[in-house]
Chain A
């Protein structure tokens, strides 16, 4: 028995759940951004797996979607970390439970 689509789908679901657990339960803001990246990567694995096991892989839909998703994820990471720096400069902390007020 070789590799099937199920292997990749189950692995991707597990990785997505790990990322979601981290994003919901950790209180450090950089860890939360890392968990967002983990979830995006799990979705990318899904896209590539569906493309690989599709009936017409030469249309290249999976790699195209993944390429655009990676570009958007890179933009999101850069912007998110810039916002982390701005938040740190303003509040002097990056503990998510200490950042409660909208106005100083």
Chain B
């Protein structure tokens, strides 16, 4: 069990670290997919099997493909090789995050109670229990999430297509032809 944890943790840290250091954006997306799958394994290790399945379906399945499509639709994947990958003043950002990790997060974690009252695989949670609580006390939240997903879908379509065409139609003057290329 602990070997599996360390293996998955290594894969996750490796995937996330590669994703923020690689120059090629497509390679970064594939390494972040590695990170997502390692996290799905960690969820399985914590006996949250439904969340692991959702992680695979939603993140590896759709978010990764969405990112690849966005890369294909925008620009060259490597960028200008003469410019650095990092933005200006990136040293300060990195130092601030290291200070946050070492000064705030790890001391707080070390103060929490470490020993678990429930040993691994002592209980048997299931998808059935999750479905039951989702139907009885949390039904309103489920409806709100459905509404949010619908609004997000419509908003994404409008932001990706509709708004820019309306913008173009507004900025083109009346006396010039609408489509100069035709």
Contact = CB atoms under 8 A, between A and B. Distances in A.
Nearest to B85: A26
Given A17-B98, A78-B153, A34 B32 contact: yes
Contact of B13 (A1, A18, A51, A62): A18
Interface residues of B, number: 86
Contact of B66 (A7, A57, A81): A81
Contacts, number: 237
Contacts of B17: 18
What class of interface size applies to chain A in its complex with B?
35 or more
Contact of A82 (B35, B55, B115, B160): B160
Given A17-B105, A70-B55, 16 more contacts: A3-B5, A8-B42, A8-B46, A22-B19, A25-B86, A34-B29, A38-B16, A45-B43, A48-B46, A66-B51, A74-B58, A82-B155, A84-B70, A84-B74, A86-B163, A95-B79
7 cross-chain pairs, A with B, having the tightest CB-CB distances, nearest first: A22-B20, A24-B93, A75-B152, A25-B90, A82-B160, A82-B156, A82-B159
